[in-house]
Amino acid sequence: MTLYLDDLRVRHLGECRYDSPLSEMLTTKQTSPHYVAEGDRVLLEDTVSMLAGHDVPPEQVPSFEAAGPRKKIYFDPSSVTAGILTCGGLCPGLNNVIRGLVQELAVHYKVKRILGFRNGLRGLTSEHRDDTVELTPEHVRDIHNAGGTILGSSRGNQDPDEMVDSLVEHGVDVLFVIGGDGGMRAATCLSNAIEARGLDIAVIGVPKTIDNDLPFTDQSFGFQSAFASAMDFISSVSVEAAASPNGVGLVKLMGRHSGFIAAYAALAANGADIVLIPEIPFALDGPEGLLAYVEQHVRKKGYVVIVLAEGAGQDLLEDADLSHRNGKATDASGNVKLGKIDDLLKERITDHLTAVGLAPTMRYIDPSYAIRSVVANAYDSVYCLRLAHAAAHAAMAGRTEVAVARWRRRFVHVPLSLMTSRRNQVDPDGDLWMSVLETTCQPAEFGVQREGEKVPSGFC
């Protein structure tokens, strides 16, 4: 996908006419390695060859608007009502983002009112719209010490017009949607409905996902806390497998379409022999297949440790016509419900090793929700706070239909349409996967890779 400067421009509600309460702090600021001045922009690409590929002057090269406070803002803070909601699956750091938003909006901008909508988009339906929570710095003071979200979350599509009615009824001027790919699509949908009615409401997305599958953000908040938690389960299974005759340690980790959690947790634990992710298809049978490799490992080392992303090998379930394990259904938000590849692997590995006289001891852990319900670690706590600050500044400056993100270590504004234009996936040709191969020593492929299934390399 080729992107041009115009694709990266963000929508403004109008001219910024009010002095920002932060304007004094900004008078002497200019771009430096640690700050991007408000008129400057952050490059989309960061190699000499990529930049050389654009036959345009530097100011025309694709770039993002820098996030951060503006000297002049669009809204008069004293008349602003802000709304906040969290949607989709849980992610470490949700409470930290809520807390950061409330503190910035209340303490610095001194907005009139901050409302939390409960249970995701459901909180904007006519049935639930009055079940709001008044958010004050006092109310959110300690919430970062707990996982989850004090606002609750949900899946399921809601009617955009009904949701806009709720915003109008509560007099919301700026809405913060903390969500994943679904949440960003919902925010886009809301922005469109708001624009169609000619309303002056800013919608700002704060990208959230433990899967790290959102594009145009270096890493999503909570991802690091989640894979750190996953690492402990890999270590446990490795200890168990190593102590068992023909031990097979298998850990299944979340990661519907992207194997980042599996890849990072495996690197962090540094004890995995095999990592299986959705981006790289694998064959079970044949001399190059997974089962032969597992056997070889057990023979040589006495045990094997496998880290499995839940979305890996879904095609194998189809091939085996295991319809009862096959993820054909979708959840309330339209996300595919995955088939149980872990069951297939346990069965096939057990059968194979037994048949070759290496009856295994299977040690299996599915930490499931345990990795995403943890409290944000120190790094994610800082990251969440800074994203929240950037989101508050974007809203007060009248940006809309935009997400705040960290891109190449700078905080930027990304149009929501881009956030949902593609999925961030592990690139089989990228250096992350190369590190996994270097660490595990597993072959680049188990069996022949099918044509057309290789994910295209891209910006992420």
* Catalytically active residues, by annotation: 211
**Among 170, 166, 167, 204, residue whose Cα is nearest residue 188:** 204
- With H, G, I as helix, E, B as strand and everything else as coil, classify residue 243: coil
Closer Cβ to ligand FBP, 201 or 338, answer by number: 338
Q: Does 396 bind ligand ADP (CB under 6 A)?
A: no
Binding mask 143-172 for ligand ADP (x = CB under 6 A): ------------xxx---------------
Q: Does 88 bind ligand FBP (CB under 6 A)?
A: yes
User: Does the annotation place 68 within a ligand binding site?
Assistant: no
Q: Does 182 bind Mg ion (CB under 5 A)?
A: yes
358 close to 246: Cβ distance less than 8 angstroms = yes
Q: 54 CB contacts (<8 Å, ≥6 apart)? A: 60, 61, 62
User: Does the annotation place 152 within a ligand binding site?
Assistant: no
Name the β-bridge partners of 400. 11
Tokens of 199: 């309303």
CA distance 448 to 329: 29
Q: Residue 457 — φ and ψ, nearest 5°? A: -75, 150
Q: Which does 254 bind (CB under 5 to 8 A by kind): Mg ion, ligand ADP, ligand FBP, none?
A: ligand FBP
Minimum CB separation of residue 107 from ligand FBP in Å reads 30
Q: Does 255 bind ligand FBP (CB under 6 A)?
A: yes
Q: Does 180 bind ligand FBP (CB under 6 A)?
A: yes
Q: 53 CB contacts (<8 Å, ≥6 apart)? A: none
CA distance 317 to 299: 27
User: Does the annotation place 339 within a ligand binding site?
Assistant: no
Number of residues that bind ligand ADP (CB under 6 A): 19
Q: Of 68, 69, 89, 205, which one interacts with ligand FBP (CB under 6 A)?
A: 89
Residue 272: exposure state from Cβ atoms within 10 A (0-12, 13-18, ≥19): buried
Q: Of 62, 183, 255, 281, which one interacts with ligand ADP (CB under 6 A)?
A: 183
Q: 165 CB contacts (<8 Å, ≥6 apart)? A: 126, 129
User: Does the annotation place 194 within a ligand binding site?
Assistant: no
CA distance 323 to 329: 11
Neighbours of 192 (CB within 10 A): 15
Residue 266: exposure state from Cβ atoms within 10 A (0-12, 13-18, ≥19): buried
User: Does the annotation place 372 within a ligand binding site?
Assistant: yes
Q: Does 401 bind ligand ADP (CB under 6 A)?
A: no
Closer Cβ to ligand ADP, 219 or 238, answer by number: 219
Residues 320-349 that bind ligand FBP (CB under 6 A): 331
Beta strands in 208-302 (DSSP E): 247-253, 274-276
Q: Which does 460 bind (CB under 5 to 8 A by kind): ligand ADP, ligand FBP, Mg ion, none?
A: none
CA distance 427 to 458: 8
Residue type, 105: L
Residues 315-344 that bind ligand ADP (CB under 6 A): 333, 335
Minimum CB separation of residue 53 from Mg ion in Å reads 32
Closer Cβ to ligand FBP, 294 or 376, answer by number: 376
User: Does the annotation place 357 within a ligand binding site?
Assistant: no
The DSSP-derived string for 323-391 is GGG----B-TTSPBPPP-HHHHHHHHHHHHHHHTT---EEEEE--GGGGTSSPP-HHHHHHHHHHHHHH
User: Does the annotation place 1 within a ligand binding site?
Assistant: no
User: Does the annotation place 156 within a ligand binding site?
Assistant: yes
Q: Of 41, 108, 185, 399, which one interacts with ligand ADP (CB under 6 A)?
A: 185
Q: Of 41, 372, 393, 413, which one interacts with ligand FBP (CB under 6 A)?
A: 372
Q: Does 181 bind Mg ion (CB under 5 A)?
A: yes
Q: Does 403 bind ligand ADP (CB under 6 A)?
A: no
Q: Does 415 bind ligand FBP (CB under 6 A)?
A: no
Minimum CB separation of residue 335 from ligand FBP in Å reads 6
Q: Which does 121 bind (CB under 5 to 8 A by kind): Mg ion, ligand FBP, ligand ADP, none?
A: ligand ADP
Residue 24: exposure state from Cβ atoms within 10 A (0-12, 13-18, ≥19): exposed
CA distance 333 to 121: 11
Binding positions for Mg(2+):
181
Please give the residue ranges that form the binding site for Mg ion (CB under 5 A).
180-182
Binding-site residue positions for substrate: 209-211, 254-256, 310, 369-372
